[in-house]
Amino acid sequence: MWSKICLFASVSPACVMMGSMAYSGIDLSAFGADALVSEPTVVACTLENGEASQCAQIVVKYKPDNLGIGPFCPATVDDAGGIWDWDGEEAGLYRLDGEFFYMLADQGYDFTDGDGHVHMIDNATVRPTVDHACIAVEASEGAEMTILLPMTPVMAENATALRTVNKVGLALDGVPIFSDAPSVAVTGHLPALDTCGGHVDPGGWYHWHATSTDIDDVYRAHGVDAHCGEVEQQASAQFGYAFDGFAMFGSQEMDGATPTGLDECDGHIGVTPNAPDGEYHYHTTLDFPNLPTCLSGVQAQNNFTTTASAGVGAAAEFRDVGPGAPDQHRGLPPGFDKAAIELGVSEDALMQAINAAGGPQLDFSKAAEMLNVSEDALRGALPPPPQR
């Protein structure tokens, strides 16, 4: 019995034949009980390619009961808060402290008042009154999320790129996982992460933007003075499952070796605790965010919903709460919804084109070509960048 497994290269997928490849599927017992609203179940679902399938349905709380979160934004430049992956001049991973905020001020992004206090907002409830503020959303204990993960993963014909604030997966501790947070250069504001790589969505629920079980290795690799004290660090451990159903592991193999033969999504076929004969799975890297850069498999339709009234998965995902304040976890700055309508393209297509064409230093010609619109039309539709 032979299974066709597609390993994605940088240009196009290359398919190889693997003999009797076993897939362990979703282990429902692996998810932390203190995050679950109810016992996980298996339900009928439809994959995004239209195939009928069976999915694990997992309903989780706004955060696990025993997980401490924060700090996110420091109160003053004399304090140390969480972390941020800065993408402007002197790009890199930083601790949120005075040195970092002074560097941003030198580049025209002043997050403090004259007395050294950091401007902070809860952009789910408060309109910003300054050009640049550190975002710290208050958690909402009533928020619940329902996640669907394919029980039997299916390789896609083409990998799905993970850009700004795309769904990545669900951690074994029951915390949802998302890709990179929006750029300060795009939104003007900073949705601070704590030292374990997570923060609170405008809907009030906590989620990861990093592989928290292996984030200390990232800090060591980049010389960042930070430590994730809330989550046990183990580079060879499974962190969670991606939304395509494949398992996600840290930066090491079971024996402590560095993974080899990784594809463009940082996945490969190898031995795991649940598949001694080998299975496809993802590994983190020592970059940040230390997550897969794309998903190789097919996701389920409607695989993330929430009872929250705002944020990702809510019935109305986008809330414009004031100038320069995006829904931080849809990655859509104010005015971009109107620009998409004016251009006759989807909001996702607009954001993907902007990210692919250079983000804040936008190559208008390239983005316009991707969207099949004129460069003049794109320039006229987009709102002005945030003030510096």
The angle, 0 to 180 degrees and rounded to 10, between the axes of the packed helices 347-356 and 336-343 is 100
pLDDT tens per residue across span 296-305? 999 999 999 9
What ranges in 73-202 are assigned the alpha helix state H?
98-106, 184-187
What does the pLDDT read at residue 331?
46
pLDDT tens per residue across span 9-60? 332 333 333 334 556 789 999 999 999 999 999 999 999 999 999 999 999 9
What does the pLDDT read at residue 150?
98
What does the pLDDT read at residue 311?
78
Q: Which residues contact 54 (CB under 8 A, 6 or more apart)?
A: 42, 43, 44, 45, 150, 151, 152
Q: Do 202 and 233 touch, CB atoms closer than 8 A?
A: no
The tokens for 262 are 């990784």
Nearest to 157 by CA among 15, 21, 54: 15
What ranges in 38-170 are assigned the alpha helix state H?
98-106
The SS3 call for residue 344 is: coil
C-alpha 133: how far from chain center: 21
The angle, 0 to 180 degrees and rounded to 10, between the axes of the packed helices 347-356 and 364-371 is 140
What does the pLDDT read at residue 384?
73
Q: How far apart are CA 252 and CA 261, in angstroms?
A: 13
What does the pLDDT read at residue 225?
97
Q: Which residues contact 192 (CB under 8 A, 6 or more apart)?
A: 72, 73, 81, 82, 83, 84, 96, 134, 135, 136, 199
Q: What is the pLDDT along the chain (388 residues), one digit of tens a residue?
A: 233 344 433 323 333 333 345 567 899 999 999 999 999 999 999 999 999 999 999 999 999 999 999 999 999 999 999 999 999 999 999 999 999 999 999 999 999 998 999 999 997 777 778 999 999 999 999 999 999 999 999 999 999 999 888 999 999 999 999 999 888 887 889 999 999 999 999 899 999 999 999 999 999 999 999 999 999 999 999 999 999 999 999 999 999 999 999 999 999 999 999 899 999 999 999 999 999 999 999 999 999 999 998 778 876 444 333 334 344 444 456 677 778 777 777 676 777 677 666 655 677 888 887 777 788 888 888 877 666 6
What does the pLDDT read at residue 128?
77
What does the pLDDT read at residue 355?
66
Encode burial over 279-309: b for 16+ CB neighbours within 10 A, e otherwise: bbbbbbbbebbbbbbbbbbbbbeebbbbbbe
